[in-house]
Amino acid sequence: TIPRRLCILKGIYPHEPKHKKKVNKGSTAPRTFYLLKDIKFLLHEPIVSKFREYKVFVRKLRKAFGKSEWGTVERLKDNKPTYRLDHIVKERYPTFTDALRDLDDALSMCFLFSTFPRTGKCHVQTVQLCRRLAVEWLNYIIASRSLRKVFLSIKGIYYQAEVLGQPITWITPYTFAHDHPTDVDYRVMATFTEFYTTLLGFVNFRLYHSLNLVYPPKIDGQADVELKPTEGKEYAMDSESYLEKLSALSASLARVVAPAHEDEVEMDEFPVEGETSEEMDTRKKEQEALEKQKKLFEGLRFFLSREVPREPLAFIIRCFGGQVSWDKSLCIGATYGVSDPSITHHIVDRPRPEPQLVGRCYLQPQWVFDSVNAKMCLPVADYFPGVLLPPHLSPFVTEQEGDYVPPEKLKLLALQRGENPDEESEEEEEEEEEEDDNDKEEEEDEDESEKEEEMKLKKMEEQKTQSNKALPVKVTAGKVRLEDRKRLEQEQQSEEKRLAIMMMKKREKYLYKKIMFGKKRKVREANKLAAKRKAHDTAVKEEKKKSKKARRA
Amino acid sequence: LQDIRNTVGNIPMEWYQDFPHIGYDLDGKKIYKPIRNKDELDMFLEKMENPDYWRTVQDKMTGADIKLTDEQVDLVHRLQRGQFGDVHFNPYEPAVDFFTHEVMIHPVTNRPADKRSFIPSLIEKEKVSKLVHAIKMGWIKPRKPKDDSPSYYDLWAHEDPNSILGRHKMHVPAPKMKLPGHEESYNPPPEYLLSEEEKLAWEQQEVAERKLNFVPQRFGSLRQVPAYPRFIQERFERCLDLYLCPRQRKMRVNVNPEDLIPKLPKPRDLQPFPTTQALIYRGHSSLVRCLSISPSGQWLVSGSDDGTVRFWEVCTARCMKTLPVGGVVKSIAWNPNPTICLVAICVEQSVLLVNPCLGDKLLYGATDQLLESYVAPEEERVQPVRWVTATAEEHSKGIRLVIQHSKAVKQVTWHGKGDYLASVVSDNSSMQVLIHQSSKRWSQSPFRRSKGMVQVVLFHPTRPYFFVATQRYVRIYNLLKQELTKKLMTNCKWVSSMAIHPGGDNIICGSYDSKLAWFDLDLSTRPYQLLRHHKRALRSVAFHRRYPLFASGSDDGSVIVCHGMVYNDLLQNPLLVPVKVLKGHVITLDLGVLDVLFHPTQPWVFSSGADGTIRLYT
C-alpha cells in the first residue's frame, strides 16, 4: 500500500488506466491505480527516512514510558526528530505563480483550522500557526488592496482576491463553535494542513517582500504607539497580544523602506501586438474601474456594532481604503468610539437600533458586501436596519446568453451603467397603484360593459335576421388569405434543418443530439426559474393589494 | 416488642408484596404481616385524627408500624440539618500544633552523620558510567543544537520559469472548486428557493445524484445565519478528492452544434421533386400492397388484400376498372414495354397476365394478337410451372394467361424489354426464382442451389444482369455467362425491397431494420451510404426513371423523397440529399406505407398505404 501521508505531501494522485481490464488482470472491479513512475518517485524522497526516524522515536518513547524511565523519556523528547517540507513545496511548485494558482485549498484549510478549538482534534501549535498565517494573509490583502469579490453564502463567506494576476478564492466559516463530525478523518486533514501551512508561509514571505513589508509582519510605528494604551493588557497575555493586535486588522503594517507618499509611477502604455485600439480602450477602462474599486471606501469612516461579525467586515472595509472601528470591549485595536462625529457609516444588524445619531448612515452589513461586488457605493435606502433586504447575489456568476438572469442583477447592471432604475421602478409602482385603482373602476364598470355587450349581441342578431330576410342565398366576399411569409420561410428553414440532420453521420448525430439536449435543459431550467419568479412576484403583489385594501377599509 | 428476626436477608422487600407473610424467622416459620384491614378512608381518618401519625413509620422488615421516640426524631432532625448524629461531639475543638513553629536550639535527634554521606555514591557512579558508555557507543546522542534557520524564506528566489514539475510533464493540476451561484447566498432571490415538492425530491435523491449539496435557504439578516453543519465534511471531501481521485484531462468538445450539421445543397435548388399531396385514390377496402404504372404514365394499377386489382386513371383518380382475382395480391407489375399492354399480377400460387384493355385500342388489340400468335412447340418440354390459357369467363375480365406455380408467389417483375418476367416463390428450395418468357410460354429456374430466402429480384435495365436479394446479401448474376459477378453486403438484418438506378450502376436496398443502403456498384460491395431516415421498417424503395430522385416508404407512415444525383464522372461520388418528408397515410395495424412508385415522366410519387388509399404527391 502507498503511504497516505507521503502521497498527500508529494501531491501524488492515482491514475485512471486507459485499459482497465488489461491492467487489472481482466477484471473490471473498481481499484485505484498509481503510476509505477510515481511510486518510484516517492521512494526516492529523502523525507521517507525522516518518517522512519520518527517511527523509531515513537517506538523508543513508548518503551521508555513502559519502563517508566523518565530520564530517557526526557532525553528522547529533547532529540525528537523533525522534518521540513521546503523542498517538497519547491518541487511541487517550481514557480511562484504555480504556488499562487494552487492556493485556494490551502487558504480555505488554514482559515478552517484557525477556527478550531485549542483542544482535542489537532495540535495546538497547528491551530496557532494557521491563525498566524491566516492573519498574515489578510494583512497582506489589505496592504495590497487586492480583494475583488466577497459573497455571503450559507456555508460561509467567500472572498476572491487577485494576487499577481491570479484569482484566489477562499471560504471562511461563520464564527461559531464547530460540531465536530465523526465521519471525518482528522489525520488526513492534519497532513494536508501541514503541507498547506508550509506553502502559505513561503507564499506570505514572498508576498510581503514584494510589497516591501517586514516579515513577520510588524505594526506600523505610529499605529503601534496609538495601540499602546493599557487596554491591551486586559485583553490578552503579552505573548498573544501582538497577534491579536495584528488580527484586529485595524493598523497598517511597517515597511522596510518608508513609502514615498504614493508615488505611483505612470505606467507607459505599450500597445500589445495585434490589439486594436478598441481593445486597448476597454483594457484601459477596466484598469480605471479597478483603480476606482480599490478606493471604494476611501474617506469613509465605519463603526461596527457588537452583533456584526467584526473580522470579515473590518477586513473588507480596510481592503477598500475605509477606516473602521468598533466597541472597545469587543476587541483590541479599536481606534475611535461610537460617539465620534466623523463616523459616516454605522453597521448594525438589529431590527431597531437605539437612539440614532445624526450625521451617519445606519446600515445592515449586506450593504458593504453588495457595494464591493457592485464596485460602487450602492444607494443606502434598501439597507436601513429593519428593512427587508434586497437579495444578495453571487458575484461569481457571469450569465451567458440564454442563462437566467435574476431581475436584481439586471437592476444592478443598469445602475453600474449609470442609469437609475429606481426611479423607473417607482414610477412603475405608481402606475401599478393607478392600475389598481383602475381595476376597481373596471370592476364597477364591468356590469355596465356586460349590459353593453348584451345590447351589441342583440343588435347583431337583428342585423343577421334582417340580412337573412333580404337575401335567402348569402354570398360572402372571399377573404384574401394572407400568407405569412416570414412564418413560411421559417418553416422552410426548419424543414431544411431537419432534413440536413437526417443526413448526419451517426457519431455526429449523437453529439449533436447531446449538445441540443443540454441546451434545451438549460433553457428549461431558465424558464422554470423565470416562471417561479413571476409567480412569486404576482403573489407579493396580490398581498400588497390586499393589505392596501384592508388599510383603506 | 417481640424479637423477630427476619431471615430473608438484604433483599428488596417488594418480592413479598403479594404474599401474606413477609419472611421467615430463625425456626423457618413464616412471619406474617400484621393485619391491615384499613381502607383508604380509614387511613385518611387516621391521618387526620392520630396526633402521632407524622412520627409513625413502617418497618420494612416486619411490616409493623413503629412510632419514633423523641430521641429518634431529634436524631433525624439533626442529620437533616447536616449535623453530627452524636449530640456530644464537638467538631470545633481547639487545634494543637504537632511541632512548634518556634526554632529550637537543640536538634530533634543528635545522631552523627553516616559515612556514606561523605563519600561519592557508588550507585550514581555506576549510572554515570553507564551513561558515559552509552554516549561512547553512540546509543545516546547529545542534545541536538537548536535549528535556528528561519522557518520561512524566499523559496522562489532562483526560480526557473522554464522548469517543469520535478515529477513529470504530464502533471494535471487539481481542478478548482466550483464557485458558488446565487442559490448559495444567505439571502437568495426567491426563485432559487426550493418549493415543497422540490425539497421532497431533493431529500429522496441519492446524495451523489443531488445537483446541489445543500438546500437553499433565506435568512432575513446576517445575524440569523447559523453555522453550516457540513463545513468540515466538505473540506474533508475536498481533501479526499485531492489525493484519492484519479485526474484526467478531458477534452471538452467545444463545437457549435450548427457546425455539425452537414452543408447540403438547399432542397429548393434541387427541384423538381414532389412536395404536396395532390390526389387520393379511394376504393380499396383493405391494405393496398402493391402499385404499378403503365409506361405511358396514364394508368395506375394497384393490388390489395381485399382480393381486387383496380385500374386508375392517374390524372383524375378515377377507378377505371376493378378486377376481382379472388385472393391477396402480393405483387403487380406493368409491362415496361410501351407497345405491349400487359400486367402481371401475383395471386396466391399463380401469376396472372392481364390485358387491362385501357388506352389505345390498337395497342391492346396488338397485345392480344401477340399472345394468340403463340404456337405450341411440337414436343412438350418439362417446365417447373404450368402455363394455362384463360377460360372464356376469365378472358372477358381481361385475364389472358395464368402461370400456375406450385407454391405461393411473392413477387413478379418484368425485364425491361417486356418479354421476360421473373417471379419469386416463397419456398426454401432452389426453385425460388423462376424466369418466364411470355412470348414462348416457357419458364426455367436459373439457380441450381438455394442461397437463402430470396426477398426481391430485379433485372438490370440495360445489361443482362439479374439481382437477387436474400435476407442480408444482394447477389448479382450475369445471365449470359451464367455466373455470379458480385455479392453485396447490405449491413442490414433483413432486406425488404430493392430498386435500381436507371443508369444501372447504383442500387438502393430498404430493410426492415429501418435502414436504406445505397450501393455504388463501381465503388465497393459495401454500402456507399447507409441512411437511417425512417423510424420504422422500410417497406419499399423506388427510383425515378428520369429525375435524380428516389423515395422510400416506411411503416411510420411517411415517404421520404431524396435527391440522389449520380454523376457520369467516375471520380465524383453520388450526392444524396433528403429533400422532402411526405406524410399523409394513416397508420393502421402498425403498418404505414406499403409501396411507393414514381411516375415515369413527371416528378410525382405514388404511395399506397395500409389505410386502403393510394396517394399521389406532386
- Cell of residue A396, nine digits: 461569481
Our CA-based measurement puts residue B467 at a distance from the nearest CA of chain A, in whole angstroms, of 27
User: What's the CATH architecture for B272-373+383-617?
Assistant: 7 Propeller (2.130)
Question: Which alpha helices (H) appear in A67-185, and where do they start and end?
Answer: 70-78, 86-92, 96-101, 103-113, 124-144
B contact test, residue of A116, A383, A503, A506 with most B CBs within 10 A = A503
B contact test, residue of A153, A494, A505, A528 with most B CBs within 10 A = A153
Query: Is the pLDDT at B1 greater than 50, yes or no?
Result: no
Query: Is the pLDDT at A140 greater than 80, yes or no?
Result: yes
Question: If pLDDT is split at 50, 70 and 90, which confidence band does B123 have?
Answer: very high
Q: Dihedral, CA atoms, A241, A246, A249, A253, nearest 10 degrees?
A: 140
Distance from C-alpha of A317 to C-alpha of A319, rounded to nearest angstrom: 5
Distance from C-alpha of B293 to C-alpha of B356, rounded to nearest angstrom: 12
- Cell of residue B563, nine digits: 435527391
Q: With an 8 Å Cβ cutoff, are A394 and B190 in contact?
A: no
Query: Is the pLDDT at A455 greater than 70, yes or no?
Result: no
Other CB atoms within 10 Å distance of the CB of residue B130: 12
- Per-residue confidence (pLDDT) for residue A37, from 0 to 100: 82
Task: Domain ranges for chain B, please list them.
Answer: 1-48, 272-373+383-617
Quote the pTM value: 0.67
- Cell of residue A327, nine digits: 466597541
Question: If pLDDT is split at 50, 70 and 90, which confidence band does A112 have?
Answer: very high
Q: Is A388 helix (H, G, I), strand (E, B) or coil?
A: coil
What is each CA distance from A176 to A180, A366, B19, B225, in whole angstroms? 12, 19, 61, 10
Other CB atoms within 10 Å distance of the CB of residue B614: 26
Burial of B281 (0-12, 13-18, 19+ CB in 10 A): buried
Question: If pLDDT is split at 50, 70 and 90, which confidence band does A72 have?
Answer: confident
Judged by a CB distance cut-off of 8 A, whether residue B186 touches chain A is yes
Cα angle B497, B498, B499; round to 5: 135
DSSP 8-state symbol, B208: G
Q: With an 8 Å Cβ cutoff, are A202 and B184 in contact?
A: no
Query: Is the pLDDT at A231 greater than 70, yes or no?
Result: no
pLDDT tens digit sequence for A296-309: 888 888 888 888 88
Question: If pLDDT is split at 50, 70 and 90, which confidence band does A237 have?
Answer: low
- Cell of residue B289, nine digits: 400492397
Q: Is A447 helix (H, G, I), strand (E, B) or coil?
A: helix
Judged by a CB distance cut-off of 8 A, whether residue B135 touches chain A is no
Question: If pLDDT is split at 50, 70 and 90, which confidence band does B614 have?
Answer: confident
Judged by a CB distance cut-off of 8 A, whether residue A30 touches chain B is no
Contacts of A255 by beta carbon, 8 Å cutoff, 6+ apart: A211, A212, A213, A214, A220
**Which residues of B fall within a CB distance of 8 Å from A34?**
none
- Per-residue confidence (pLDDT) for residue B536, from 0 to 100: 86
What value does the mean pLDDT take over residues A359-368?
A: 87
Q: With an 8 Å Cβ cutoff, are A152 and B225 in contact?
A: yes
What value does the mean pLDDT take over residues B385-393?
A: 79
Q: How many residues does chain B have?
A: 618
pLDDT tens digit sequence for B161-182: 666 555 556 778 888 888 998 8
**Which residues of B fall within a CB distance of 8 Å from A13?**
172, 174, 242-247
- Per-residue confidence (pLDDT) for residue A20, from 0 to 100: 81
Integer-rounded Cα Rg, in Å, for chain A is: 34
Q: What percent of chain A has pLDDT over 70?
A: 79
Distance from C-alpha of B377 to C-alpha of A190, rounded to nearest angstrom: 107
Distance from C-alpha of A38 to C-alpha of A7, rounded to nearest angstrom: 9
Cβ-Cβ pairs closer than 8 A, A with B, add up to 271
Distance from C-alpha of A508 to C-alpha of A501, rounded to nearest angstrom: 9
Query: Is the pLDDT at B202 greater than 50, yes or no?
Result: yes
Chain A neighbours among B 91-130 (CB < 8 Å)? none
> Closest Cα to residue B585, out of B291, B189, B230, B361?
B291
What value does the mean pLDDT take over residues A418-437?
A: 49
- Per-residue confidence (pLDDT) for residue B39, from 0 to 100: 84
Query: Is the pLDDT at B305 greater than 90, yes or no?
Result: no
Chain B neighbours among A 485-504 (CB < 8 Å)? 492, 495-504
Distance from C-alpha of B187 to C-alpha of A443, rounded to nearest angstrom: 38
What value does the mean pLDDT take over residues A226-233?
A: 49
**Which residues of B fall within a CB distance of 8 Å from A310?**
none
Contacts of B438 by beta carbon, 8 Å cutoff, 6+ apart: B342, B353, B371, B401, B419, B420, B421
Distance from C-alpha of A326 to C-alpha of A329, rounded to nearest angstrom: 8
Contacts by B436-439 with C-beta closer than 8 Å and gap 24+? B436/B351, B436/B385, B436/B403, B438/B342, B438/B353, B438/B371, B438/B401, B439/B370, B439/B374
- Cell of residue A245, nine digits: 493586535
Judged by a CB distance cut-off of 8 A, whether residue B82 touches chain A is no
Distance from C-alpha of B461 to C-alpha of B413, rounded to nearest angstrom: 12
Question: If pLDDT is split at 50, 70 and 90, which confidence band does A462 have?
Answer: low
Query: Is the pLDDT at B483 greater than 80, yes or no?
Result: yes
- Domains annotated for chain A, with CATH where assigned, are 4-79 (no CATH), 86-211 (no CATH), 294-396 (3.40.50.10190), 399-421+516-552 (no CATH)
**Which residues of B fall within a CB distance of 8 Å from A156?**
228, 231
Give B537 or A2, the one with higher predicted confidence. Answer: B537
Judged by a CB distance cut-off of 8 A, whether residue B564 touches chain A is no
Chain B neighbours among A 405-444 (CB < 8 Å)? 406-408
Q: With an 8 Å Cβ cutoff, are A16 and B246 in contact?
A: yes
Q: With an 8 Å Cβ cutoff, are A392 and B140 in contact?
A: no
Task: Provide the CA B309 distance to its chain's centre, in angstroms.
Answer: 46
Question: Which alpha helices (H) appear in B53-116, and where do they start and end?
Answer: 70-80
A309-338: b (≥16 Cβ within 10 Å) or e: bbbbbbbbbbbbebbbbbebebbbbbbbee
8 Å CB contact between B551 and B604: no
- Per-residue confidence (pLDDT) for residue A59, from 0 to 100: 95
Judged by a CB distance cut-off of 8 A, whether residue A520 touches chain B is no
DSSP 8-state symbol, B185: B
**Which residues of B fall within a CB distance of 8 Å from A32?**
244, 246
A168-190: b (≥16 Cβ within 10 Å) or e: bbbbbbbeeeeeeeeebebebbb
Q: With an 8 Å Cβ cutoff, are B227 and A504 in contact?
A: no
- Per-residue confidence (pLDDT) for residue A436, from 0 to 100: 45
- Cell of residue A175, nine digits: 464564527
- Cell of residue A477, nine digits: 366576399
A55-59, A356-360, A395-399: which is most confident: A55-59
Q: How many residues does chain A have?
A: 553
> Closest Cα to residue A139, out of A297, A314, A375?
A314
Instruction: For chain B, report the end-to-end CA distance as a whole number of angstroms.
Output: 130
8 Å CB contact between B328 and B337: no
Judged by a CB distance cut-off of 8 A, whether residue A76 touches chain B is no
Judged by a CB distance cut-off of 8 A, whether residue B145 touches chain A is no
Q: With an 8 Å Cβ cutoff, are A105 and B257 in contact?
A: no
What is each CA distance from B75 to A412, B58, B83, in whole angstroms? 84, 18, 9
Give B365 or B29, the one with higher predicted confidence. Answer: B29
Facing residue for B260 by CB, picked from A105, A174, A504: A504
φ, ψ for residue B540 (rounded to 5)?
-155, 155
Q: Which residues pair with B465 in a beta bridge?
A: B478
What value does the mean pLDDT take over residues B16-40?
A: 84
What value does the mean pLDDT take over residues A255-259?
A: 60
